[in-house]
Structures are given as C-alpha cells and as structure tokens.
Chains A and B, each alone.
Chain A
Amino acid sequence: MKKRNVISKKVRDISPSGIRRFFDILASLEGVISLGVGEPDFVTPWHIREAGIYSLEQGYTSYTSNYGILELREEIARYLKSRYGLGYDPQKEILITVGVSEGLDLAMRAILDPGDEVIGHEPSYVSYTPCTTLAGGKFVPVSTYVENEFKVNADDIEKRVTLRTKALLLGYPSNPTGGEMDRAGLKKVAEVAQRHDLIVVSDEVYERLVYGVKHTCFASLPGMQQRTIHLGGFSKAYAMTGWRIGYAAAREEIIEAMMKIHQYTMLCAPIMGQMAAIEALKEGEAQVEDMVAEYDQRRRVMVEGFNNIGLTCFEPQGAFYAFPSIKSTGLSSEDFAEKLLLEEHVAVVPGNAFGKCGEGYVRCCYATSMAEIEEAVERMGRFVKRHRKR
C-alpha cells in the first residue's frame, strides 16, 4: 500500500482532547476523588427507570419514527409551552436526538456551508469547535470574563460578525463556568442576531439546573423563535446521561433539514430511552426539584470552600460546575490539574480544555456527594498552601 494519510485532513486538524492523558494517571492511583465528572451523581429516578424496563417487557424494541415517538414530542411541546410560553408543532418542529450532542452536530451540519462562520463564547463546552469544523464551518470564539461572571457580551459578539457569519452558538447555563445569562444580556444578543440575520443555536441542556435565578429560554425572546434552534435534553435534569435522549425545537424548515441528516446517520434515538423520557416529563418534576435543591447546597459548600482556601471563585448560577481561579498558585491550569491529581488525588479539569481564556481556571463538578466535596476542598487547601506563589 502506498504511504498516504488514512485519516482525513479534517479530522487530523482537530486537536486531541487535553483531558485524555489524565485517564492514564487516574488509572494508576487509589482513592481519587473526582470533581472531573460531567454528569449527575444521582441514578435516574426509579419510576423513570421502571418505565424503561416496562417498555422492554412490552416489546418496545423497534425503530421509531425518524422524528421520534410522537407522544414524546407532544410532551416536549407541552413542556416548552408551559415553561417558556413557546408554541412548537410536535409534528414538524421537534426532533428527538441522541442526546444534545447529536442535536448540536445536526444543527451545524444543517445550516453551515463550507467557510461559514459561527460565533460562540469561550470558555464553553468542548464539542462546539469540532462540531463546527466537522460541519465545514469556522468557529469564531468570543472570550468571556470572570468580572462579568462569564456572561457573553453582545458588543463583543457584534465585533466579530463578518459577511460569512451564519450563526451564533450559545451554551447557557454554561459548562464549564456555571455562568448563566440574564434576560437583559440575552436581549442584546438577540438584537445582534436580528441586525445581522443570524441563526442562533442555543444549547440549553442545563436549563433546569439554575439557582436563585430564573432561566430565560433564548427562543422565547420576542422574534427569536423563528431564528433559534433550541437544544434541550434529559441527561442533566433527570440524571439520564446514559439514555442518550435530547431534542431540537426549531421552525419546520430547519427541523426537516436536521431530520434528513439524522435519518441517514442515526435513524432514530433508542426507543427505550424515548419511552423513559415520556415518563420523565409526565411524572418527574418533583425529583428534578429535589435534585436541584441538593445541588444548590453542594454548590454553596464548594464555592465557599474554594474561596476560603484561596481559590477565588465567583458564584455560579447554573449547571453543576464551579470554576475557581487558580492564579494564586502561579501554576498553569494543566500543571495544577496534574499536580493536584498526583499529590492529593483530586481530579479536576483544566480550564484551557474549554478555550484559551479558560487558562488560569479549573472546572470542578459539584455533582458528587457532600462528604467528597468537603474532603476534596480540604485536600485542595493543603495543595494550594504548598504551591502558593511567593
């Protein structure tokens, strides 16, 4: 065989995840407390699991409509109506996806032509750039700052708009910062989208996990529903990460385009997960509220703990992450994460994994038991004392 590149240039150009190497270190250590996870520590509430099991017993093992089970789409339409006053036609404007991850991929592939630009805020979820690239687009990052609680500034977005800008990509509440946009800030972003005729892809997978504030759904802002691809899911709110069920809601033309890709690449989301998701929407509200209350307590303990040990941390209002500054140690975020893991057996994710401006921070997930959070903060306190910049 002639020597040539087996792997496409497109894929070769995607930089490997900086997190992978931590796996090897982790595997060699005992007694690690991981604040590096990206999912709830709750098991899916039993009644939802039971609905999944029951669906198997009843023989629900087939494909579903490419769009997903109609009853689930109807429940989602009802939910978006009652929670945010949004009207979506469950027949044509909602698509069930394999997690929000697939929804994001479909959205990008459906709207981007080669060279189109997508403006997104950083630090932000790791798949935003590669998903844009793989769809042929170019991700244009806009930095956000702790002074502004990592909210994205509409003026900063507008400065990056060019003739090639096709879309904005928003991810609030934010993984990794825990920052949440307020309504006024989102309205300004909406004005930019309006002025430059941009599509807005809004990843709101953490919408239910907010603390002391009310989440504003971007699509619910005046005039925005038509230009928004709303991405939602079950993973975070209902502790259903492994079921892989998400959804996209947008105008018919867009959903049809996304469905076209979905039917050829994925066909449909797993039926058992869809059946469980119906149960989640119908009967799961109380459990969501209980879990949110629990996260809220852990959030306070972690944030106060970090501030007490000299890792300055703003108060996150959403998701389940704290994003403390590690600048008092003088270490880079990767060095901090690696040394902390080796010396104190606490795993965190370096902030630069989420974009250049995440340097100087680490992401710590508080979806772990209170006892582990307290122990982790103590260990990190020892670590910081040892490594404080002189």
Chain B
Amino acid sequence: MNEIFKILEEDARKTPQQIATMTGIPLSKVKGAIKQAERDRTILKYKAIVNWDRLGEGQVVALVEVRIVPQRDVGFDAIAERIYRFTEARSVYLMSGTYDLAVLVAGKTMQEVASFVTQKLAPLDGVQGTVTHFLLKRYKEDGEVLEVEKRPKRVPIMP
C-alpha cells in the first residue's frame, strides 16, 4: 500500500486508475486507500512545487534559529505552537544541537522577513534569542534540482 503514496508523493496528479495499473493493486483498493489517507491526514495536501524565480517573483526566505526556554508540562510545544500559527512561518522544526527551533520564514522582501523576526518572533515570551540566515540560492527543492540538467542522449536503437 505504501507504494501508492510513494507514487503520489512523486507525482500527485497520477489518477487512481494509473496507480492501479502501475502497482497491480485493484482500483477500488487504491481509491479506498487514498480516501482514507486524506481523511486521517496521512496525505496532508496536494500542491505544486513552483519555481517563483522564473516568474520574477522570487520570495525571500530565511532560516531562523530560535533558542527558547522550555515550559513546565508542555516543554517546547506551547511556544512552538505560538510560532507556527504565524503564516509567515512556513516550516517549524524542533532540532537537536545548539538551538531549539528551526523556523523557515518567507516574505516578499527582506524587510518583511526582518520585521517578522524582530517584531513578532523575537519578542515572544520564552524566546531567548534568534539567528537569522537568509537563503541566497536554491539548488534543489524537495528532491527536485531547479536547473534543467542537460543529459547526453542515449543511442535510440540498440539491440
């Protein structure tokens, strides 16, 4: 069954019929598994990976290291929640190592990102400090290399 989700993760536009053919799993089972996965949030969402740079609308993205003070009973979760509720926070991860939360922040301009960090994120109760790293260039996004790779042609007919 996991094969179904591997296929969708690679190409969410594959139809249940195509997946059934590719895997040999009966169509009704494929449909059922996908429905169930959508219901129980195994599949969170279907979306496209857009290369905004090509549209001249490159976003400014920063990786913000956040050090926080864990709170009694809820640990890091409560403060993490206060952070991930901001739409500017695209991804939020609890990390091991020298800081606690990694927050990917996206905005239209550097000022927008900076003001989010200084006005919203840093002043939160429990946040001890932040270190902001601006993203300079994307090479690979979610397993996809952004530049089109030129590949040598194969010999078209070979026994």
Residues of A within 8 A of B (CB): 17, 19, 22-23, 26, 32, 34, 36-39, 41, 43, 125-127, 175-176, 293, 297-298, 300-301, 304, 347, 349, 353-354, 370
A43 surroundings in chain B (CB, below 8 A): 151
Instruction: Report yes or no: B23 in contact with A23, Cβ–Cβ below 8 A.
Output: no
**What string of 1s and 0s marks CB contacts (under 8 Å) between B1-42 and chain A?**
001000100000000001001111000000000000000000
Q: List 24 A-B contacts (CB under 8 A).
A: A19-B159, A23-B156, A34-B154, A36-B156, A36-B158, A37-B154, A37-B155, A41-B154, A43-B151, A125-B159, A127-B159, A176-B159, A293-B3, A297-B22, A298-B22, A300-B22, A300-B23, A300-B24, A301-B22, A304-B21, A347-B156, A349-B157, A349-B159, A353-B159
**What string of 1s and 0s marks CB contacts (under 8 Å) between B61-95 and chain A?**
00000000000000000000000000000000000
- Closest 7 A-B residue pairs measured CB to CB? A36-B157, A297-B22, A38-B158, A34-B156, A126-B159, A304-B21, A22-B157
B22 surroundings in chain A (CB, below 8 A): 297-298, 300-301, 370
* Chain B nearest CB, measured from A167 CB (Å): 22
* Chain B nearest CB, measured from A39 CB (Å): 6
* Chain A nearest CB, measured from B42 CB (Å): 20
How far apart sit A39 and B157, CA to CA, in the bound complex (Å)?
A: 10
A347 surroundings in chain B (CB, below 8 A): 156-157
Residues of B within 8 A of A (CB): 3, 7, 18, 21-24, 151, 154-159
Instruction: Report yes or no: B157 in contact with A19, Cβ–Cβ below 8 A.
Output: yes
Instruction: Report yes or no: A297 in contact with B23, Cβ–Cβ below 8 A.
Output: yes
* Closest chain B residue to A368, Cβ basis: B154
A36 surroundings in chain B (CB, below 8 A): 156-158
* Closest chain B residue to A367, Cβ basis: B154
Q: Which of B3, B21, B159 sits near A38, CB closer than 8 Å?
A: B159
How far apart sit A22 and B156, CA to CA, in the bound complex (Å)?
A: 10
B156 surroundings in chain A (CB, below 8 A): 23, 26, 32, 34, 36-37, 347
* Chain A nearest CB, measured from B139 CB (Å): 14
Instruction: Report yes or no: A354 in contact with B21, Cβ–Cβ below 8 A.
Output: no
Instruction: Report yes or no: B159 in contact with A17, Cβ–Cβ below 8 A.
Output: yes
Instruction: Report yes or no: A26 in contact with B157, Cβ–Cβ below 8 A.
Output: yes
B23 surroundings in chain A (CB, below 8 A): 297, 300
* Closest chain B residue to A371, Cβ basis: B11
Instruction: Report yes or no: B157 in contact with A354, Cβ–Cβ below 8 A.
Output: no
Are A354 and B159 also in contact (CB < 8 A) when A301-B18, A301-B22 are?
yes
* Chain B nearest CB, measured from A363 CB (Å): 8
* Chain A nearest CB, measured from B23 CB (Å): 7
A39 surroundings in chain B (CB, below 8 A): 154, 158
How far apart sit A17 and B155, CA to CA, in the bound complex (Å)?
A: 15
Instruction: Report yes or no: B21 in contact with A34, Cβ–Cβ below 8 A.
Output: no
How far apart sit A176 and B155, CA to CA, in the bound complex (Å)?
A: 17
* Chain A nearest CB, measured from B119 CB (Å): 43
How far apart sit A208 and B16, CA to CA, in the bound complex (Å)?
A: 29
Instruction: Report yes or no: A301 in contact with B21, Cβ–Cβ below 8 A.
Output: yes
How far apart sit A167 and B24, CA to CA, in the bound complex (Å)?
A: 39
* Chain A nearest CB, measured from B85 CB (Å): 38
How far apart sit A300 and B102, CA to CA, in the bound complex (Å)?
A: 42
* Chain A nearest CB, measured from B88 CB (Å): 35
How far apart sit A349 and B23, CA to CA, in the bound complex (Å)?
A: 27
Extra contacts, 9 of them, besides A36-B156, A43-B151, A353-B159 (Cβ < 8 A), are A22-B157, A41-B154, A175-B159, A176-B159, A297-B22, A300-B24, A301-B18, A301-B22, A370-B22
Give the interface centre of B3, B155, B157, B159 by most chain A CB atoms within 10 Å.
B157
* Chain A nearest CB, measured from B154 CB (Å): 5
Give the interface centre of A125, A300, A354 by most chain B CB atoms within 10 Å.
A300
Q: Which of B3, B151, B157 sits near A37, CB closer than 8 Å?
A: B157
* Chain B nearest CB, measured from A42 CB (Å): 10
How far apart sit A293 and B6, CA to CA, in the bound complex (Å)?
A: 11
* Chain A nearest CB, measured from B5 CB (Å): 13
How far apart sit A353 and B159, CA to CA, in the bound complex (Å)?
A: 8
How far apart sit A41 and B24, CA to CA, in the bound complex (Å)?
A: 23
How far apart sit A230 and B22, CA to CA, in the bound complex (Å)?
A: 33
How far apart sit A304 and B22, CA to CA, in the bound complex (Å)?
A: 9
How far apart sit A19 and B23, CA to CA, in the bound complex (Å)?
A: 33
